[in-house]
Structure 1
């Protein structure tokens, strides 16, 4: 199995570090000196540097001050600490906003932002694009050959959209390139509805609360344009970096569950994917097990963006955040467990925001390695140092990947379209939550999963699960059919195959071009009130227990058989006896359709049976108790197995194979005891 080199030979160890903001402490050389001492004690080997330093790097237009950064980078390198060097576009200096107001973002209601905050600049502004290229060029020329610099960190957490006239003009050009003529645009948007037909390109504006909101094709295209415009801005940023330092890889940090950008497109432009992970551990609305599933799903998605290439955990908190509704501390054991969870799913780093707490500003109470006390004698610092020491024992895992036989389709454009749709319920459509509920069962059983979009290659998997695939792109149906015809298995659900990529409903019956694949016709979709429920009843010959009942809530799809076999039926209401779960033989494979949103027990039993039926590879030969998961990374010679307990109870795993523990160097042959929030890592030779 391929092993990846993320840093072109400059680094081959697990990275451990943090966002470092020495520009906030230039008046305290004693603190800067202390930082180096503490970094070494914390077993840190990398720092992300300069992320919000523009006002210090260029305090006046054209007045560049790099000497302080020279000294910081030199000091880090002399002490064995590498640098991920950032470009500063995430927050601009005040002189830039004052002299060039066009750089300030305009909101959907057409109000203009003032100077302040961050990430609120116009991505279209020629002035802003030019100013960031100038400073990026100077950074590349000055530090491109410095041996400390191993990667570019471009900007920070790109996001948001701008509705200024510059963006409106570019949006119209984008639409003209896509549709060619107003006739094609009007037909694609179905704009004759409510007499919204456009007669001039200049009449088209982005969606606004006081303007157009009812043309879903417009809303969907605006989201696509805003994502594309952000990527174009990023590509403008990296031009001088690519030109001057082609040997240095480039990343930008993606965000957790972020809805505004198509990361599948964005990932094509970065060398290494990185992301910022801030789960709400120990919350009052979700168990740590549920949060672990949620976070694992995101880790698997970010790894899948570049087809299994390791990613970087660019930001996490060693203790707590300051912006969540309740900033609860990580309980003992959770820092190590949650950090190694990232490594288990494919990260080659554990990094934090932030190294040292700011003394002022909105993030002065955000967690950090070094607190306001300024020393190492804290619980958090000791946790970080201990983890850093253990990461040094995991260097052989860097560059390894995950090979999955299962993929869950989580598609960003489909997500946009579902959220925009008016009906069949305004709330609790819950596309992401639904994908998570299907994913959870493989996480619990220790079966590796990729999270892909509908444009990815399906052929490498045994099983593809595509819940609520409401929006179908032009060739998705054909590719799914080919996958199943060649022996693959697909599972989908209610509200699949409803609209095309312009958000126009398919004619001729749902699930549109997938109707023959699933062998069913979806005649109606019943949306239930929260207090409503139905039941589905399992029939014979399913692998599940005949007569077993499961509760159905929120959505019940009323389907007619067109070649498929009913595996379960509805129990009550006027559609009692109609199919609720079906399977259709298609070529050498099978297509399953789950017609209702069912309780978790149904998905657990359904996928447990499917794992056996498809002979899917389990990571570990053992029955995993509730809250315990196994994840695996591999190279050509070894499997690296992570066994993690996210429950609050001690768990016993009865092992049926011999494994060698990496950290404690023990050989385990029988039972493994995992304490609360404990993780063990094993190495197994591939025979």
Structure 2
């Protein structure tokens, strides 16, 4: 549980009372109570207000707002406000300003414009966090600490370059080891002194679009920048913990955000929180995958939905309104996949600045007679009635999909084989196949224990880190099913090719050798021809993008290519290894193949769908104290059917017992408990 002082699903969002007058504050509290809002995030961008100069700190305004909310039954998620440094700091200490990828020194403006290796920024950010924690350490209204906001963005200044060299010394020890790790004899890059190393940007090793001439240094700089920003977070985290050891601390993440290694970050967070902003064309399965990834960062611990919009965004190309029912639907999607909060950005719309057209619970009209407010209040009422039953409930899965940020960076930086290769898309293709079949999946990192799973899938496992191949071998030896794909097992953690033939350290496990990799335009298709019916796989399917030319070295050939000069060569293999099996899919297959493949390997492991339902219906399950809560969400624009058979379940939103075939209306939600409501 996030904080036992509020043992329910928290409901609320970002609130900026400093932008309003006292009359508005009173009206806000009245409307928050109408909507069932019980948590407000304060102080996110108030550094300049809290600290008007180098020596002065003023928290009187914040005292008033925290007290005012708490007296009305509304708790505070208290931010440290360090996501945007004050103008006076930039003027007096220009070292806080970042240098961009093109070598240009930024001026004050926007936000996240602070150099993560600036001694000035670190000093004042840590000091502010400490002063806030000391002041509010005993306030009963403060539920959780929110450090900074949406960390991100790299810096390429001289002080980052110097810090990068220190980071390299700590990692490699000697310049000889750096040269070895980066293969610097290529293009005459051998270094003899640490200060010969320059950071990789457009002035040195990189071009826009993640193009690098020297992947080793570019990969390490991404690790270094992720670590640098993490150090900033940890400075504030430690400063707060000196005063408030029992109040949890978080910072809001952003799903599959490219620049930070969130599995590493999650180890430093008491609870994971994230901001969910799908685009107008984002598949529901991609949003579900993001929720599952956030849950997976801390091995299944419930997470916080820190931000979503109640209506529309302001920064996408096309800022469509959420249609009636969609805000509620997507809120329950988050809860279904492990969220213990539903929170919005923002609670009241600003009147100026870039987010004045970003949706809010309280619109510019300022009263409750709006569609958005009515929907928000209705959801708040529902959550008040049912959330205590399922708060801290867990999601259990027998299938895991591996996601690794460092592997993603290496794939992106690779000079070939195809500009169309998108790590996220390839991972999502496999996730979507399980999603469509209503089979629960955990998204895991490479450090996760594999023994609790029956099936582990690692799409495009280009980078195999030290010890990981042995870890997977042990999993398969003990009876697990492992699946990986084309362009896997190519390099080690330094992006150096593993010699002896692809897929490198996975070669023995998979029982294959990949001789060449063909890369064609995505419109060019080949065929996957199944030799003999295997599970639900039969006939032929299409594949594209990359085509590994593989030879079987003990693996059983399940399917062959149907076209091109490699017609008849293996494209799908299965290798018995110990008590389990390791599969290799040598190209990017179509959705029909993936659906048949996923159903086959799940049937082999006796992994069943959570619930039979029509297409367009999402199903997820959370369990607590022996009780099951099946979330059934209809994303379609028409009604759909759900098939319960003879089993009886109680719809917790209506208190009705359901069985047989149930019709669920468009954009509607059911939560099916395995007991009658009165027994829960």
2:562 match = 571
1:412 match = 405
1:237 match = 236
Structure 1 residue 495: deviation in Å? 0.4
Structure 1 residue 617: deviation in Å? 3.9
1:203 match = 196
2:584 match = 593
**Could you tell me whether the CA contact under 8 Å between 1:628 and 1:647 is conserved in 2?**
yes
Structure 1 residue 215: deviation in Å? 1.2
**1:169 counterpart = 2:200:** no
1:655 match = 644
Structure 2 counterparts to residues 355-370 of structure 1, below 5 A = 355-370=347-362
**1:606 counterpart = 2:586:** no
**1:78 counterpart = 2:71:** yes
Structure 1: distance between partners of 2:299 and 2:674: 23
Structure 2 counterparts to residues 340-359 of structure 1, below 5 A = 340-359=332-351
**1:14 counterpart = 2:3:** no
- CA-to-aligned-CA distance 1:474-495 (integer Å, 9 cap, x gap): 0110000000000000011000
Correspondence for 1:186 among 174, 179, 182: 179
**1:679 counterpart = 2:669:** yes
- CA-to-aligned-CA distance 1:394-418 (integer Å, 9 cap, x gap): 2211111111100001110000000
In structure 2, the residue corresponding to 1:244 is in which secondary structure? coil
Structure 2 counterparts to residues 44-55 of structure 1, below 5 A = 44-55=37-48
Structure 2: distance between partners of 1:632 and 1:362: 38
TM-score (norm 2): 0.97
1:618 match = 609
Q: Which range moved further: 483-492 or 162-171?
A: 162-171
Structure 1 residue 199: deviation in Å? 1.7
1:255 match = 254
Correspondence for 2:328 among 336, 347, 367: 336
- CA-to-aligned-CA distance 1:188-238 (integer Å, 9 cap, x gap): 101111111112110111111121231111000000011111111111112
- CA-to-aligned-CA distance 1:293-338 (integer Å, 9 cap, x gap): 0000010011011111100000000000000000000011111100
2:367 match = 375
Correspondence for 1:24 among 13, 19, 25: 19
**Could you tell me whether the CA contact under 8 Å between 1:441 and 1:603 is conserved in 2?**
yes
In structure 1, the residue corresponding to 2:8 is in which secondary structure? coil
**1:156 counterpart = 2:149:** yes
Q: Which range moved further: 462-471 or 68-77?
A: 68-77
**1:549 counterpart = 2:540:** yes
Structure 2: distance between partners of 1:81 and 1:663: 24
Structure 1 residue 257: deviation in Å? 2.1
In structure 2, the residue corresponding to 1:222 is in which secondary structure? helix
Structure 1 residue 256: deviation in Å? 2.8
Correspondence for 1:320 among 312, 315, 331: 312
1:133 match = 126
CA RMSD of aligned residues (A): 1.3
Correspondence for 1:641 among 630, 634, 639: 630
Structure 1 residue 109: deviation in Å? 2.2
Structure 2: distance between partners of 1:120 and 1:256: 21
Structure 2: distance between partners of 1:137 and 1:184: 39
**Could you tell me whether the CA contact under 8 Å between 2:438 and 2:620 is conserved in 1?**
yes
1:104 match = 97
Change (3 A) 1:136 1:545: closer
Structure 1 residue 541: deviation in Å? 4.5
Structure 2: distance between partners of 1:529 and 1:131: 51
**Could you tell me whether the CA contact under 8 Å between 1:538 and 1:544 is conserved in 2?**
no
Q: Which range moved further: 295-304 or 648-657?
A: 648-657
**Could you tell me whether the CA contact under 8 Å between 2:299 and 2:448 is conserved in 1?**
no
TM-score (norm 1): 0.96
Structure 1 residue 638: deviation in Å? 0.5
Structure 1: distance between partners of 2:572 and 2:548: 10
1:521 match = 513
- CA-to-aligned-CA distance 1:59-109 (integer Å, 9 cap, x gap): 222222211111111110010001000001101111111111111111122
Structure 2: distance between partners of 1:256 and 1:514: 29
Structure 1: distance between partners of 2:632 and 2:92: 56
Q: Which range moved further: 403-412 or 130-139?
A: 130-139
Structure 2: distance between partners of 1:32 and 1:523: 68
Structure 1: distance between partners of 2:287 and 2:537: 32
**Could you tell me whether the CA contact under 8 Å between 2:14 and 2:40 is conserved in 1?**
yes
**1:435 counterpart = 2:388:** no
Structure 2: distance between partners of 1:517 and 1:332: 51
Structure 1: distance between partners of 2:606 and 2:247: 43
- CA-to-aligned-CA distance 1:545-590 (integer Å, 9 cap, x gap): 54x1111111111100000011111111111111110100000000
Structure 1: distance between partners of 2:387 and 2:503: 47
Structure 1: distance between partners of 2:443 and 2:237: 28
Change (3 A) 1:525 1:372: same
The gaps in structure 2 that reach 5 residues or longer are 207-212
In structure 1, the residue corresponding to 2:588 is in which secondary structure? strand
1:666 match = 656
**Could you tell me whether the CA contact under 8 Å between 2:537 and 2:593 is conserved in 1?**
no
**Could you tell me whether the CA contact under 8 Å between 2:14 and 2:41 is conserved in 1?**
yes
In structure 2, the residue corresponding to 1:269 is in which secondary structure? coil
Structure 2 counterparts to residues 136-147 of structure 1, below 5 A = 136-147=129-140
In structure 2, the residue corresponding to 1:207 is in which secondary structure? coil
Q: Which range moved further: 536-545 or 652-661?
A: 536-545
Structure 2 counterparts to residues 247-286 of structure 1, below 5 A = 247-281=246-280, 283=281
Structure 1 residue 654: deviation in Å? 2.1
- CA-to-aligned-CA distance 1:315-365 (integer Å, 9 cap, x gap): 000000000000000011111100100000000011000011110001110
Structure 2 counterparts to residues 111-130 of structure 1, below 5 A = 111-130=104-123
Structure 1: distance between partners of 2:643 and 2:440: 20
**Could you tell me whether the CA contact under 8 Å between 2:537 and 2:597 is conserved in 1?**
no
Change (3 A) 1:46 1:545: closer
1:583 match = 574
| Runs (4+) off by over 3 Å | none
The gaps in structure 1 that reach 5 residues or longer are none
**1:562 counterpart = 2:553:** yes
Structure 1: distance between partners of 2:413 and 2:224: 16
**Could you tell me whether the CA contact under 8 Å between 1:410 and 1:453 is conserved in 2?**
yes
